[in-house]
Structure 1
Amino acid sequence: MKRRIALLGLALLPLAAMASEGSVKWGYEGENGPENWAKLSPDFFACSGKNQSPIDLSGFIQAELKPLKIKYQAGGQSIVNNGHTVQINYAPGSSLSLDGKVFELKQFHFHAPSENLIKGKSYPLEGHLVHADKDGNLTVLAVMFVKGKANKALAQAWAAMPQEAGEPQALPTQVSALELLPKSRAYYRFNGSLTTPPCSEGVRWLVLKHPVTASAEQIAAFEKVMHHPNNRPVQSVNARPVLD
Structure 2
Amino acid sequence: MKKNLLCAAMLFASCSAFAAEQHVHWDYSGDKGPENWAKLTPEFGACAGKNQTPVNLTGFIQADLKPLKFNYKVGGSQILNNGHTVQVVYDAGSNVVIDGVEYELKQFHFHAPSENEIKGESYPLEGHFVHADKNGNLAVVAVMFKEGKANPVLETLWAHLPAKEGDKIALTPAHNALDLLPKNHAYYRFSGSLTTPPCTEGVRWIVMKKPVFVSKAQIDAFKKVMGHDNNRPLQAVNAREILE
Q: What TM-score comes out, normalization by structure 1 length? A: 0.95
2:234 paired with 1:234 = yes
2:34 paired with 1:34 = yes
CA distance in 2, matches of 1:49, 1:168: 33
1:123 and 1:144 in contact (8 A); partners too: yes
Write the mapping of 1:110-189 to structure 2, written as runs, cut at 5 A: 110-189=110-189
CA distance in 1, matches of 2:64, 2:179: 26
Larger mean Cα displacement after TM superposition, 13-22 or 148-157: 13-22
CA distance in 2, matches of 1:62, 1:6: 33
Q: Please, which runs of 5 or more residues in structure 1 have no aligned partner?
A: none
* Cross-structure match for 1:6: 4
CA distance in 1, matches of 2:19, 2:174: 28
CA distance in 2, matches of 1:95, 1:240: 26
CA distance in 1, matches of 2:56, 2:199: 17
CA distance in 1, matches of 2:95, 2:22: 35
Write the mapping of 1:50-69 to structure 2, written as runs, cut at 5 A: 50-69=50-69
Identity of aligned residues (%): 61
Give SS of 1:38's match: helix
2:66 and 2:99 in contact (8 A); partners too: no
Offset of residue 169 of structure 1: 2.0
CA distance in 1, matches of 2:100, 2:21: 41
CA distance in 2, matches of 1:85, 1:110: 6
Give the CA RMSD over aligned residues.
1.8
2:206 paired with 1:206 = yes
Aligned residues: 242
CA distance in 1, matches of 2:111, 2:14: 16
Q: What TM-score comes out, normalization by structure 2 length? A: 0.95
Give SS of 2:63's match: coil
Give SS of 1:45's match: helix
Offset of residue 16 of structure 1: 11
After TM superposition, the runs of 4+ consecutive aligned structure 1 residues lying more than 6 A away are 15-22
Offset of residue 179 of structure 1: 1.3
Larger mean Cα displacement after TM superposition, 153-162 or 102-111: 153-162
1:62 and 1:243 in contact (8 A); partners too: yes
Give SS of 1:115's match: coil
* Cross-structure match for 2:96: 96
